[in-house]
Amino acid sequence: LRNAINEEGNIYVCTAVSLQIFNSKGKFICIINIPILPVSICFGYDNMKTLYMTYYNKVGNIRDIK
């Protein structure tokens, strides 16, 4: 999946050049530029506030996303 929802209900959507974030009602919050399109994304770690992104040749993460 190239989409994920955090505990607050925010929606994280991957595009070819960015990670777009929307609130639970669909209102745009912000864009985070990413170098390449992930194969999948999900939240994890102890506090579920780390966003993991898998690519074809590596894994990345963004910690403490709010």
Q: Is the CB of residue 22 less than 8 Å from the CB of residue 11?
A: yes
33-60 pLDDT per residue, tens: 988 888 899 999 888 889 999 988 888 8
pLDDT (0 to 100) of residue 64:
78
- Residue 1's pLDDT band (cuts 50, 70, 90): low
Q: What is the mean pLDDT of residues 20-40?
A: 92
pTM, entire model: 0.83
Which of 6, 10, 7, 19 shows the shortest CA–CA distance to 55? 19
